[in-house]
Copies of this chain bind each other. A is one copy, B any other.
Amino acid sequence: MLKVPDHQVAGHEAGLGKLGPLIDDSGRFYKPLQGDNRGSEEVAFYESFSSNSHIPEHIRKFFPMYYGTKIMKASTGVDHPHMVLQDLTSARVNPSVMDIKIGSRTWAPDASEAYIAKCLKKDRESTSIPLGFRLSGLQVYIDDESRFYKPDRNYIRKTGPDDVRLLLRKFVSSNPSADMEMGTGSGPGPDCSLASSVYDGPNGILAQLLELKAWFEDQTFYHFYACSFLFVYEKRLGLKGALSNAEVKLIDFAHVTDGNGVIDHNFLGGLCSLTKFISDILTEIKDCTGTNGQVEL
Contact = CB atoms under 8 A, between A and B. Distances in A.
Interface string A11-32: 0000000000000000000000
Contact of A265 (B217, B260, B269): B269
Contacts of A120: 120
Q: Report the contact-size class of chain A (Cβ under 8 Å from the partner).
A: 20 to 34
B161 A262 contact: yes
A151 to B, nearest CB: 22
Main DSSP-derived SS at the A contact region: helix
Interface in A236-258: none
Residue in A105, A217, A218, A276 whose Cβ sees the most chain B Cβ within 10 Å: A276
A105 to B, nearest CB: 7
A261 B168 CA distance: 15
Nearest to A271: B265
Interface in A68-117: 104-105, 109
Top 8 nearest A-B pairs (CB, nearest first) are: A269-B269, A265-B269, A132-B265, A265-B273, A263-B276, A109-B129, A263-B273, A268-B269
Contacts of A268: 268-269, 272
B105 A272 contact: no
A266 interface: yes
A264 to B, nearest CB: 8
Contacts of A261: 161, 280
A84 B104 CA distance: 35
Given A104-B266, A265-B269, 13 more contacts: A104-B105, A105-B105, A105-B129, A130-B262, A131-B265, A132-B265, A161-B262, A217-B276, A261-B280, A262-B273, A263-B272, A268-B269, A269-B269
A147 interface: no
Nearest to A218: B276
Residue in A161, A265, A273 whose Cβ sees the most chain B Cβ within 10 Å: A265
Nearest to A279: B218
B218 A260 contact: no
A102 to B, nearest CB: 10
A217 B272 contact: yes
Contacts of A276: 217-218, 220, 262-263
A124 interface: yes
A270 interface: yes
